[in-house]
Amino acid sequence: MSTQGYEEELRSERGYVAELYTRLDAERARVRREYTSALRGTGGTHMERDDQVRASAREMRRLDVADTGLCFGRLDTLSGESSYIGRIGLFDEENDYEPVLLDWRAPASRAFYVATAAFPENMRRRRQFHSRGRVVVDFTDEVLGRPEGDARGDAALLAAVNAPRGPGMRDIVATIQAEQDEIIRLDHPGVLVIEGGPGTGKTVVALHRVAYLLYTQRERMERHGVLVVGPNPAFLNHISRVLPSLGESDVVFMTTGDLVPGLRVTAEDPPEVARLKGSLKILDVLAAAVADRQQLPADPVPIELGGVALRIDAETAEWARDEARASGRPHNEARAVFAEIITYVLTERAIGRISKGWLNRSDREGWEQTRAELLKDLADDDKFTATLDDLWPTLTPESLLGSLFSSPDRLRAAGGDPVLARADGDAWTVSDVPLLDELVDLLGRDQAIDQAAERERKAQAQYAAAVLDSMHGRADSMDDEDHLYATDLLYAEDLAERFEERDTRELAERAAADRDWTYRHVVVDEAQELSEMDWRVLMRRCPGRSFTVVGDLAQRRTEAGARSWGTMLDPYVPDRWKYRSLTVNYRTPAEIMTVAAAVLADFAPTVQPPESVRACGVVPWSRQVTPDGLTAAIDDFIRDESTREGTSIVIGPPGIPGVVPASETKGLEFDAVLVVEPDHILSDGPRGAAELYVALTRATQRLGVLHQGPLPQSLAGLVELHPSGHNT
């Protein structure tokens, strides 16, 4: 294309994109009017108005995210037709709703990502736009169907991966590669495992897959939403902008420490303790701990009933306990069976002694009346209630687990390893969370509390209905001189509707607060770190078993984590999980990946490192410092990087001021990384090499290493700088 021809095409494309923004603004204005009308509206019920407000709010969010990069490409077919590709779909209402912009997730957009010179997908040309704000700055064309054609999207891809990093992960909607697009659009209803080394884009691919599923299965998924589970809060904050940038907000972000509502746990157990708690063998310990709280009296407990001295003996309590356990109910719910047997025995014995033969069982009415009076007496008897609490206490997951870990005797009785004991039973760790979740099912709910809440709700609803009936009654009986204002009836109707079964919170807020909430799809990142007990919790959260699982077995750092995907998944979905791998490293330049690959070869020699798509031209370096010079060298790095565009971080073993442990950087990326004391990282536990591998592969441009002792042999490929900071 000549320079003049290019400029004419550029003006034309700018004009078309400007028209798209005009349509976007008009659509925004229309939806905002609908939203405002729904907020102020009085027609329909509260529930109907709430639904309209939520629908309009979702649509506003969808349109708002499209302001930047609304249209990023164009496809031209062999027959001369053109389609524009963008973040959302826009349609011409005056022309039979013809699409003027295709959503990137639409089937017709697929060729934009997968067409190649060898396999053009019936396309003649792919055009990619580079925009600043709302204006197209320039474009690049790729002519398809020619064997000598360039590789797909090299210019746009390299521009994206070389760009300085910001505070959060960016979407890749404009530069999705063919191997990534295949995974994003994969039609598989079960569990999809995406494995890839550092920098292969597995996390962002999983998030785009969520956006694709929400687009293609909106009706099935939007009422239950999607759960995204990540390794730590920093990681979740890093990725939290991707899905909203794609117009999706019905997503809940959690770590495994957040899976029980009301808890936000980040503390970790020592490796051996975490391994024990993460194994399914802990289920036997939990069941035994519950059974241990279902006691028999050491000595008969005296109870006075109807003026008669009675006793709750071990034989009676054992019968009641056997019946309660045989009911199959959770502990707290089975308490009712236990209490029923105890009260039956006591009232039968009391009636028999009270009547002295004058009250016969054939006198059913008299017998039942006497029994009712005795039952009331037992209900009011504090000693009887206290005895029930001793023999079959109402328990919470926190009270049972806390007392188990803080009592060596209870732990021994439950068959738990002594290493699980701790002084503060309530000092929760991440490994405790799946145990607490399991105990929710083992213990069940406190029926007395549930029944009281239900009685309160019914009383409020009855009051509201009575107010409404009263208002309507007044209206019917009024003469011409009486007045009943419309606001009176509206107040009464509002009061009645307030007690309908509805919840005005956003889906993500409701789901995060409800332990029994079930999701339509779950994304698990850094999944190699999850234990068997963690998987048990997540499978409980998603009965449909629809998962996108992202991880890299070579980066596993916890003893409780996965050594193979089948070990974790086969118990739940033996025939419903598929494996896909990503092999191209889009983040780590070849110079840095060469260094990291040497570390990988030491601890996982059978694992093939991902191939970097680019080189950065900057050589990774190492520098030996004295103990007194370590802090100054770190400060030098921070000062130098503060003058550059992008992000940086110092990674190293815990305990050094200003240094972040490698475990807290998993899934993150930075323009520059300084790794401090790699030999200390290697020596920190059995997975130290994996930690060092993670640390080295966080950098997208520049990598430096500071060390006081000898440099580990696996890092011999680094260029050693003179203590002054110059090449030796």
- Segment among 146-160, 345-359, 683-697 with least mean pLDDT: 146-160
pLDDT of res. 462: 61
Cα-Cα end-to-end distance for the chain: 50
pLDDT at 610 over 80: yes
CB-based contacts of 566: which residues, under 8 Å, 6+ apart? Answer: none
How confident is the prediction for the chain on average, in pLDDT?
87
CB atoms within 10 A of CB 79: 7
pLDDT confidence bin for 10, thresholds 50/70/90:
very high
**Phi and psi based region of residue 546 (left: phi greater than 0; alpha: psi -120 to 50; beta: remaining):** beta
Q: How far apart are CA 522 and CA 500, in angstroms?
A: 30
pLDDT of res. 477: 53
CATH code given to domain 590-720: 3.40.50.300
pLDDT at 150 over 60: no
pLDDT at 288 over 60: yes
List the chain domain ranges.
1-145, 295-391, 590-720
pLDDT confidence bin for 458, thresholds 50/70/90:
low
pLDDT more than 90, % of the chain: 62
pLDDT confidence bin for 245, thresholds 50/70/90:
confident
pLDDT of res. 480: 47
Q: Which residues make up each annotated binding site?
A: 196-203
pLDDT of res. 155: 65
- Measured in degrees and rounded to the nearest 5, phi and psi for residue 266 equal -125, -20
pLDDT confidence bin for 144, thresholds 50/70/90:
confident
CB atoms within 10 A of CB 218: 11
Summarised one tens digit per residue, pLDDT across range 87-128 is: 999 999 888 889 999 999 999 999 999 987 778 889 999 999
pLDDT of res. 282: 98
Q: How far apart are CA 189 and CA 221, in angstroms?
A: 12
3 state SS for 246-277: CCCCCEEEEEHHHCCCCCCCCCCCCHHHHHHH
pLDDT of res. 484: 41
CB atoms within 10 A of CB 674: 26
Q: Specify the DSSP element, H or E, that contains 649.
A: strand 648-651
Longest dimension (CA), the chain: 117
Q: What is the pLDDT averaged over residues 655-676?
A: 92
Q: Which residues make up each annotated binding site for ATP?
A: 196-203
- pLDDT: is 256 or 154 the higher one? 256
pLDDT at 215 over 60: yes
Summarised one tens digit per residue, pLDDT across range 628-661 is: 999 999 999 999 999 999 999 999 998 888 899 9
Summarised one tens digit per residue, pLDDT across range 368-405 is: 788 888 889 898 999 999 999 999 999 999 999 999 99
pLDDT at 53 over 90: no
Q: What is the pLDDT averaged over residues 435-456?
A: 76
pLDDT of res. 476: 53
pLDDT at 516 over 70: yes
